[in-house]
């Protein structure tokens, strides 16, 4: 494995954060339709302070996912989120690429 | 995800073993399945298919929904020969996101000075590959022109199912190589997997250009292999 694997891989970062005693949530792209920016299986990991690493989109919905992740850390419950095209009436945040994604957010532990 | 499971998952990935992280959406229970583990029923079939395709996704089995996150080892390149082309290939591979190692028993070639920051082993491939075996997620590039050094790892690469096997040398050199390996008992069909002349035909002339041509061919072999796998039923 290259140097980047340990330092940049989101699940490796999640393990390191866990070892440092930080609360961690893991967000995973579980389904995509259309031109979604990140493939299925992509991870964004979030700690209890809102620090994050990785991505589930091109930066379009990460803010919302982080907010949900902080809730999941507090509640201890996983949650499925769905994001579509940016549309003021239907979505608070959205993907400008026209795709749709489902993101699973779960606390570690 | 369970913290112990995350540790196990990362340990498997560090060891270059193919694993799938299976999450049941109803209730969020999860587990890890290693390549070769037996899982019964329709979920087992879906897991087998996912290992082949390398594609993560949602599956339904017996009325339950599962997410299969497939973790295949990242592709890496093993270069036999610490030559000028290998110096350039080490740079190109790094920016392309592929791990790379160089093996060459000739200590005049395999020096720290020529390969600063590169994983370099100055020993015979026979000895090195014993402790660092090739696998299906490895590309083997043989560039010494010397049968004493190149032939053994080429044969190992073919037998290990490396996704790319390339050998440097003129058509004449390669024809002689094919004859030798055939005489040594390597089947003809297997030998035809060797890419020679090495690299995509982009008219590469300098060592750096040849390195780019080799890298492009490796990327093609890796990505096309995955595409073909996705088409499997």
Residue B113: pLDDT above 50?
yes
Write the CB contacts of B231 (distance below 8 Å, at least 6 apart in sequence).
none
Contacts of B3 in chain A (CB under 8 A): 18, 108-109
Contacts of A28 in chain B (CB under 8 A): 67, 69
Q: Within 10 A of A16 (CB to CB), how many other CB atoms are there?
A: 16
Contacts of B28 in chain A (CB under 8 A): 78, 106
Give residue A29's pLDDT.
96
Write the CB contacts of B179 (distance below 8 Å, at least 6 apart in sequence).
none
Local confidence band at B229 (pLDDT 50, 70, 90 cut-offs): very low
Residue closest to A62 by CA, chosen among A34, A23, A101:
A101
What are the residue boundaries of the structural domains of chain A, listed by start?
A: 3-107
Judge whether A7 is closer than 8 Å to chain B, CB to CB. no
Residue closest to B76 by CA, chosen among B138, B143, B163:
B138
Contacts of A4 in chain B (CB under 8 A): 97
Tokens of A103: 């993101």
Beta B76-80 vs B138-142: how paired, if at all? Answer: parallel
* Per-residue tens of pLDDT for chain A, all 109 residues: 555 677 889 999 999 999 999 999 999 999 998 877 889 999 999 999 999 999 998 888 899 999 999 999 999 999 999 988 655 444 556 666 667 899 999 999 8
Residue B83: pLDDT above 50?
yes
A with B: how many residue pairs have Cβ under 8 Å apart? Answer: 52
- Could you give the strand order of the β-sheet that contains B194-195, starting from the edge strand earlier in sequence? B119-121, B99-103, B76-80, B138-142, B164-167, B194-195
pLDDT > 70: percent of chain B: 96
Residue B230: pLDDT above 70?
no
Residue B221: pLDDT above 90?
yes
pLDDT > 90: percent of chain B: 80
Give residue B75's pLDDT.
87
Cβ under 8 Å to A: B residues 39-98? 55-58, 67, 69-70, 74, 94, 97
> Cβ contact (<8 Å) for A104 and B25?
yes
Kindly report, residue by residue over B154-187, the tens digit of the pLDDT.
Answer: 999 999 999 999 999 999 999 999 999 999 999 9
- Low-confidence winner among B41-45, B147-151, B226-230 (lowest mean pLDDT): B226-230
> Cβ contact (<8 Å) for B7 and A39?
no
Q: What backbone torsions phi and psi does residue A24 show, to the nearest 5 degrees?
A: -135, 140
Give residue A96's pLDDT.
66
Residue closest to A45 by CA, chosen among B53, B74, B9, B31:
B9
Give residue B232's pLDDT.
35
Cβ under 8 Å to A: B residues 28-47? 28
Residue B231: pLDDT above 80?
no
Closest residue of chain A to B68, computed from CA coordinates: A41
User: Could you give the C-alpha distances from B105 to B100, B120, B211, in angstroms and in order?
Assistant: 17, 10, 21
Give residue B219's pLDDT.
93
User: Could you give the C-alpha distances from A5 to A1, A101, B14, B16, B74, in angstroms and in order?
Assistant: 6, 25, 9, 12, 9
Give residue A3's pLDDT.
56
Kindly report, residue by residue over A88-101, the tens digit of the pLDDT.
Answer: 444 556 666 667 89
Give SS3 for B59: strand
Of B36-40, B80-84, B94-98, give the range with the top mean pLDDT.
B80-84
> Cβ contact (<8 Å) for B57 and A31?
yes
Nearest CA distance, B6 vs chain A (angstrom): 7
Give residue A8's pLDDT.
86
Write the CATH number of the domain with boundaries B76-227: 3.40.50.720
What are the residue boundaries of the structural domains of chain B, listed by start?
A: 3-71, 76-227
Q: At what angle are helices B207-230 and B41-53 packed, to 10 degrees?
A: 160
Q: ipTM, 2 decimals?
A: 0.87
CB A81, CB A68: distance < 8 Å: yes
Write the CB contacts of B109 (distance below 8 Å, at least 6 apart in sequence).
B81, B82, B83
CB B100, CB B93: distance < 8 Å: yes
CB B153, CB B138: distance < 8 Å: no
Q: Select the residue from A26, A82, A104, A105 to test the B interface by mutation, using most B Cβ atoms within 10 A.
A: A104
Nearest CA distance, A76 vs chain B (angstrom): 11
């Amino acid at each position: 494995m290259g140097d980047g694997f340990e330092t940049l891989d989101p699940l490796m970062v999640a393990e390191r954060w866990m070892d440092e005693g930080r609360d961690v949530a893991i967000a995973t792209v579980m389904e995509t339709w259309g031109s979604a920016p990140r493939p299925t299986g992509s991870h964004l990991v979030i700690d209890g302070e809102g620090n994050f690493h990785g991505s589930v989109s091109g930066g379009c919905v990460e803010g919302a996912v982080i907010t949900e992740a902080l809730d999941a850390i507090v509640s201890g419950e996983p949650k499925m989120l769905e994001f579509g095209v940016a549309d003021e009436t239907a979505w608070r945040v959205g993907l400008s690429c026209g795709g749709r994604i489902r993101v699973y957010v779960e606390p570690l532990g | 995800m369970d913290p112990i499971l995350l540790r196990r998952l990362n340990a498997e990935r560090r060891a270059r073993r193919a694993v799938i992280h299976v999450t049941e959406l109803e209730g969020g229970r999860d587990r890890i399945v290693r390549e070769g583990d037996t899982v019964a029923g329709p979920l087992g079939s879906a897991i087998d298919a996912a290992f082949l395709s390398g594609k993560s996704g949602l599956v339904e089995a017996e009325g339950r929904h599962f997410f299969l996150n497939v973790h295949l080892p990242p592709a890496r390149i093993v270069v036999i020969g610490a030559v000028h082309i290998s110096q350039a290939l080490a740079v190109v591979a790094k920016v392309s996101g592929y791990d790379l190692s160089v093996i060459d028993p000739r200590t005049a070639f395999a020096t720290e000075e020529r390969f600063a920051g590169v994983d370099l082993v100055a020993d015979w491939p026979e000895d090195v590959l014993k402790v660092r075996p090739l696998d299906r997620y490895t590309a083997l590039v043989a560039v010494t022109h010397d049968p004493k050094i190149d032939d053994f790892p080429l044969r190992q690469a073919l037998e290990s199912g490396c996704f790319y096997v390339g050998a440097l040398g003129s058509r004449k050199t390669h024809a002689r190589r094919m004859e030798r390996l055939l005489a040594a008992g390597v089947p003809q069909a297997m030998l035809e997997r060797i890419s020679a002349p090495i690299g995509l035909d982009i008219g590469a002339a300098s060592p750096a250009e040849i390195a780019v041509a080799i890298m492009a061919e490796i990327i093609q072999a890796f990505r096309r292999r995955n595409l073909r796998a996705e088409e499997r039923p």
